[in-house]
Amino acid sequence: METSYETIIIGGGVVGSSIAYHLSERNKGGILVLDKKFPLSGTSGSTQAWVWVHNKTPSWYAEFSMYSAELYPYLSKKIGDVEYKRTGGLSPFFNEADREKALLLAKTYESIGIKIKVLTREEALEKEPSLNPEVAGATYSSIDGNVNPFRLVDRYMRAAKKNGVQYSTYNKVTEIQKLPGKFMVVSQKGTFQCKNLVLAGGTWSRELGKMVDITIPINQLRGQILVTEPLKPFLNYTISGLRQAFNGEVLIGYSMEKEGFNRATTLEVMQETANLAVHYVPSLRKAKVVRAFSGIRAMPEDGFPILGRIPGVENLFVAATHSGVTLSPLIGTLMTELILDGDTSIPIDRYSITRFNNMETK
């Protein structure tokens, strides 16, 4: 294995692998991805994987998410079938009072080109007949959908490898040294040298930041998901809270708990999640849960992506975000532009790590 690369990416999850793939489209060879375990062992392997746009706030973040969702159809043509399905997204509400908020959302987002319909009870039930008849209404947008996260990361990796990217897995990075014009990346399996270094360590970003004396303010937020046995296709849309996968399984959950890196599943949240399921879609009562899992979100302190250069350290980049499945095609595209061209086609200044005032080097 070579020891010198143009670019090294630490972290082979959906974010790191997307960057590797997009970079490799323009820059054959000279790219190494290091992962302490195997890609998908982090957050990217325990996610709902909605490609979700329509009720992200504020509007500039929704707009950013929309550009990424728009890239999905082309991406799946390029890297192969990732079971991406633009089902349209439905967020039901059960209180008439929420309609006002929904209408405000629709009005604001019209100006940025995200079409949101606020459905009446009848319209919502017509679209998704399995919804609880007590629903008051729903917001709906055709831009939303979902993807198979396992296939997505696998296809990013395969396409990247085909373009010459090397992966070194079960290889933890333990130390980073900055020397003039290059980095020395010390890992369990040896020391590698590179010009550009990208930190894409997901929930472990703080740890990676420490190696270069910066604070990457990423916290952990647990989510628990229930998976049903495969059911006949019956859900037409991605519903915020549950979706039906290609093989018929329904994935249910939208829970948030501050539990650090603890990936346990708990009965209490499983029960709440079951309540959500039967509240939204009563016919799910009869469905059997075959599996429960939990994942740890990499949640930036203010909730928004941390993307771009790390100021003060030449050729050092960071990409750490929640909603990395939705955002991965765009993040891969823009980070590639930044690394190779020094600038991005869509501004990412807003996502710079400099917005946190505690990031100063030590």
Ligand X SMILES: Cc1cc2nc3c(=O)[nH]c(=O)nc-3n(C[C@H](O)[C@H](O)[C@H](O)COP(=O)(O)OP(=O)(O)OC[C@H]3O[C@@H](n4cnc5c(N)ncnc54)[C@H](O)[C@@H]3O)c2cc1C
Note the residues at the interface with ligand X (CB under 6 A).
10-16, 34-37, 39, 41-44, 46-50, 52, 172-173, 200-204, 208, 223, 225, 295-298, 321-326
Which is nearer to another protein, 184 or 231 (by Cβ)?
Answer: 231
Cβ contact 230:250 at 8 Å: no
Q: How far is the CB of 147 from another protein (least distance, A)?
A: 14
CA distances 256 to 271, 299, 359, Å, are 14, 11, 26
Which is nearer to ligand X, 92 or 295 (by Cβ)?
Answer: 295
Which of 359, 71, 32 has the alpha carbon at shortest distance from 194?
A: 32
What does 271 interact with, of ligand X, another protein, none (CB < 5 to 8 A by kind)?
Answer: another protein
Residues 6+ apart with CB under 8 A from 327: 15, 64, 65, 68, 305, 321
Structure tokens at 276: 């959500």
What does 68 interact with, of another protein, ligand X, none (CB < 5 to 8 A by kind)?
Answer: none
What does 291 interact with, of ligand X, another protein, none (CB < 5 to 8 A by kind)?
Answer: another protein
Distance CA 169, CA 65 (A): 30
Which of 52, 54, 58, 55 has the alpha carbon at shortest distance from 72?
A: 52
Cβ contact 62:54 at 8 Å: yes
Which is nearer to ligand X, 125 or 205 (by Cβ)?
Answer: 205
Q: How far is the CB of 180 from another protein (least distance, A)?
A: 34
Q: How far is the CB of 17 from ligand X (least distance, A)?
A: 7
What does 346 interact with, of another protein, ligand X, none (CB < 5 to 8 A by kind)?
Answer: none
Distance CA 32, CA 273 (A): 40
Residue 337 phi, psi dihedral angles, 5° rounding: -60, -45
What does 47 interact with, of ligand X, another protein, none (CB < 5 to 8 A by kind)?
Answer: ligand X
Q: How far is the CB of 30 from ligand X (least distance, A)?
A: 19
Which of 219, 208, 211, 188 has the alpha carbon at shortest distance from 37?
A: 188
Which is nearer to another protein, 52 or 192 (by Cβ)?
Answer: 52
- Residues at the contact surface with another protein, assessed by CB under 8 A: 37-38, 40-41, 45, 55, 57-59, 91, 93, 98, 101-102, 104-105, 108-109, 139, 150, 154, 167, 169-170, 226, 228-229, 240-241, 253-257, 265, 267, 269-279, 284-293
Strands 182-187 and 190-199: antiparallel
Structure tokens at 264: 């346990």
Q: How far is the CB of 296 from ligand X (least distance, A)?
A: 6
What does 77 interact with, of another protein, ligand X, none (CB < 5 to 8 A by kind)?
Answer: none
Q: How far is the CB of 270 from another protein (least distance, A)?
A: 6
